[in-house]
Structures are given as C-alpha cells and as structure tokens.
Amino acid sequence: MNITLIGYGNMGSGIAQRALAAGHQVTLAGADVAKAQEVAAKLGTGAATVATAVASADLVVLATPFGAAEDIVRSAGGFAGKVVIDISNPVKADFSGLAIGHSTSAAEEIQTLAPQARVVKAFNTVFAQVFAEGAEIAGRKVQVFVAADDAVAKATASEFAASLGFEAVDTGPLENARLLEPLGMLNITFGYKLGRGTGIAPVWLQR
C-alpha cells in the first residue's frame, strides 16, 4: 500500500519504519516539511507536504497529537474519500488524564472535522517502543484494536496492522473509540506512572 504518515515523532517514525520493512511505500508529512524530510532521509524514504502526500495515499496514518488535528485536516483538504487511522489519545498537557471522553472521542471529533473521510481508530494502545522493538511481547503478537463505521476502511486498517506483524482485533464502530482511548490512557499510566515501562501492551484473551 501507499502509506502517508502525518507526523514524524516517535510514533510516526516507528510506524513508518515497520511499514517500510513490510514492503509498503511510505511518505512522511507534517507541518514542518523540512523536519519531515530530515526524518524521512534517515528512514530511507520520501517526504512531502500534507496535501501532496495525502492525495496519492491508499491509507493515511494521523500520527500527531489530537490538538493538531484541526490544522492537519485543513492542510489535507478534508481527507475526502481517504481511509484515515487516528492513533491519538487526547491526553491533558500534564498527562493527568484525558481531555475529552465518555460522550465523544478524539476519533469521532476528527470524523466530524473531516466528514468525507473514513476514520478508523487504531494503534492508540501501542507504545512507540513496541514498533521499534518488535510486534511480539512474551511470545505472542501485540493486539491492535480497530474501530470504524466503514467496513472497507476497517478491513484496510486491519490488513495494514497485520502486515506490520500485529494481531488486528475488530472493536466495533467508531463510537467505541470512547472505550479505546481510556484504555490507551491506562496503558500510559502503567508504563510511566506505575513503572512498568514501555515494553507492554493490553491484550484480550479468549478461551
């Protein structure tokens, strides 16, 4: 697939690295094109403006903080017709909790900002270090919880997650991002506040 990664921080570059290793075409984009080009050069791939990168993408991964979403949507021209994976957790600046939740979610707010996009929630429970160190922990694949209203978009995101070595788990409609984002916050709490580190991920077990 032709993947556009909007965001070039630890998450964006981590996903890009695994996507390249899986054989996908990857273009980095973001507000600072020069920075995107710098990171892309280190990864051995290309960079472009948000609008240019999105236009040619089969799949867009929005790997920026939730607070940047409105500006990115505007730069992208609304993501019309595109499958857009939102990986964000709308955490407060002091990481004391989520800024929004329960009656809405970051993913739903992005869908409202970009009504012609096909928004998917995924990867928000996966630390950047997991992308760097491998998609397995304790001998089993890390799960990626995938929520979306559009069946084709959900299938595309699930296929992408599987290609990176993860186990994609269907988590129902986009509304269930209201459940996934608190789970992402719990993962952050375990990792940083409770000292478990970043080599962790939630998993749903079934007999």
Res 186: pLDDT: 97
Q: Kindly write down the DSSP assignment for every residue of the chain, as one continuous string.
A: -EEEEE--SHHHHHHHHHHHHTT-EEEEE-S-HHHHHHHHHHHT-EE--HHHHHHT-SEEEE-S-GGGHHHHHHHTTT-TT-EEEE----B-TTSSSBSS-SS--HHHHHHHHSTTSEEEE-STTS-HHHHHH-SEETTEEPEEEEEES-HHHHHHHHHHHHHTT-EEEE--SGGGHHHHHHHHHHHHIIIIISS--SS--------
Residue 136 CB coordination number (10 Å):
14
Locate the domains of the chain by residue range: 2-193
Res 97: pLDDT: 93
pTM here is: 0.97
pLDDT per 10-residue tile (average), the chain, 207 residues: 96 96 97 95 96 96 96 95 97 92 96 98 97 93 98 98 98 98 97 95 94
Res 30: pLDDT: 94
- C-alpha to C-alpha distance for 110 and 108, rounded to whole angstroms: 5
- Domain 2-193 class? alpha beta
**Percent of the chain with pLDDT strictly greater than 90:** 97
Res 165: pLDDT: 97
Res 44: pLDDT: 97
